[in-house]
Structure 1
């Protein structure tokens, strides 16, 4: 109960605030989301890479993300083959289960649970996941039609990608920013997490209830919330991860389906109803699963 009250509940209240405001005012989310994507998130990414002590653990994190992604894709392909699902349904299940909400859900959970040290890992994990999602997410949403070139373009359309590159450039050449400029970056970066949390609540308010394909939704939620962290735990046994990083990646692997992936499903007509249903239900049930997981990990 203490974990729920001290870690999960504060995060949920921010989501719920966005949810209620959206139900009440029917706000256009796009301008807020655009500001978060093109201003706030790149600033937070830059600050994180500019100030973080980069070491071999980040290489292990990249390996971890790739191993988890491919394991989940393989599971979905095997399941879809057994059930004889068509390609679009297989893609919808991959979108719903292979891409987690490590940013506007996972990062604040990690901040409340493990403090600033864990939060740095969470932000870097978020950047890696965003790149993976923009590449493989587009590829599977378009059922392979988009091709590698289109997927790569999506990665390089991300402002966060350039924020990362600039930060790495400054670190490599041992440069430094003037204090006043960094203060500006710091102010914007601090606003990022609460903003994206409110956006998630608003996005969830737009998902309509009813007529869920409960068999497929149950499978997707089970893979996202249960199978994914179990696989993540197994991968951590194979990699020499720092104890704190181990906890962080397992918790992030247990977060619900990424809300961003719903937009890809809609754009490419890859079972958007199913993807949004799994996103909504996994987000609600994660209140229980994340609380239990945090209690187990300590």
Structure 2
């Protein structure tokens, strides 16, 4: 019950307030959502990725364990979703949106504070979550964009789009600077920190603006299917992969918890930026965030069994 109340008060309520503000602002001023989307892709996302990577501490052994887990988990989850969308006979646009709503999960804004709450600020479990966050930042900005553009543009044009995104350069830059202990001048680090601190607010406001602009023709069955795969199937798969690799203790618990969080705002930002099932994507994020206040306490309870 304590976890339930904490998650409700410290995760769900603040997120819901920010989303509501975004929806209200759209209703009042008809804000251009494409501009907000570009700000997220080209300004706020690169800043938070750089900050988290540059300030994190992780060992090579932890890195390899987490990467192995992620590759197996991601591959199995992708295969499950591919089977589901083909059985459902979705059109291509919905197949991509459904896939994105499950494989892209909120490993930063939601998972980082959740990790620190559950594990009492443990630096080791935080480093595990940061590695997951890196992967969950890289994949939407590479595969996610490719999947949305493959049928609309040539391979070269799609690659130009991917290579134009700053986040794919920020990741190796931040890791190199941290590895070689290169100090970032305060005059540069300070504005980057300011921008990074604004990421969550801007992303949630963007989601709120999208929800405010929607006609709310609810994609009931598809949204529920997405929520089921993201909040139930994914953590169960996390338990399985941990068992398969023989992981235990804090490592196993942190990895399983990382699988249980709701759909990422990346799926919405991609859907808006590339005009693909934006309403479904927004509804999937919103509902999975709400339902997660029920499912995550259940996952936390079963972590004691690992």
Can you list the C-alpha shifts for 1:47-104, whole angstroms capped at 9, x where unaligned?
4333413322223323333323322222222223333333333223212222212223
CA distance in 2, matches of 1:201, 1:85: 24
CA distance in 2, matches of 1:236, 1:159: 33
**1:104 counterpart SS class:** coil
Does residue 278 of structure 2 align to residue 272 of structure 1? Answer: yes
1:35-54 maps to which residues of 2 (within 5 A)? 37-51=41-55, 52-54=57-59
Q: Which moved more, 1:2-11 or 1:35-44?
A: 35-44
CA distance in 2, matches of 1:186, 1:88: 35
**2:232 counterpart SS class:** helix
CA contact (8 A) 1:43 1:189 kept: yes
- Corresponding residue of 2:149: 142
**2:144 counterpart SS class:** helix
Describe the shift of the 1:297–1:200 C-alpha distance in structure 2 as closer, same or farther (beyond 3 A). farther
TM-score by length of 1: 0.80
**2:167 counterpart SS class:** helix
Does residue 182 of structure 2 align to residue 175 of structure 1? Answer: yes
Which of 255, 263, 271 in structure 2 is aligned with 1:257?
Answer: 263
CA contact (8 A) 2:22 2:205 kept: no
- Corresponding residue of 2:76: 71
- Corresponding residue of 1:225: 231
- Corresponding residue of 2:167: 160
Describe the shift of the 1:269–1:206 C-alpha distance in structure 2 as closer, same or farther (beyond 3 A). same
Describe the shift of the 1:147–1:284 C-alpha distance in structure 2 as closer, same or farther (beyond 3 A). farther
Deviation at 1:268, TM superposition (A): 4.3
1:91-130 maps to which residues of 2 (within 5 A)? 91-114=96-119, 115=121, 117=123, 118-130=125-137
CA contact (8 A) 2:141 2:168 kept: no
**1:295 counterpart SS class:** helix
**1:222 counterpart SS class:** helix
Does residue 18 of structure 2 align to residue 11 of structure 1? Answer: no
TM-score by length of 2: 0.79
Can you list the C-alpha shifts for 1:154-204, whole angstroms capped at 9, x where unaligned?
5544433333322322244443446x4587378537725653574366357
Q: Gaps spanning 5+ residues in structure 1: where?
A: none
CA contact (8 A) 2:116 2:122 kept: yes
Can you list the C-alpha shifts for 1:88-125, whole angstroms capped at 9, x where unaligned?
33223212222212223222322333325233433332
Does residue 117 of structure 2 align to residue 83 of structure 1? Answer: no
Deviation at 1:222, TM superposition (A): 0.7
Q: Gaps spanning 5+ residues in structure 2: where?
A: none
CA distance in 2, matches of 1:50, 1:263: 24
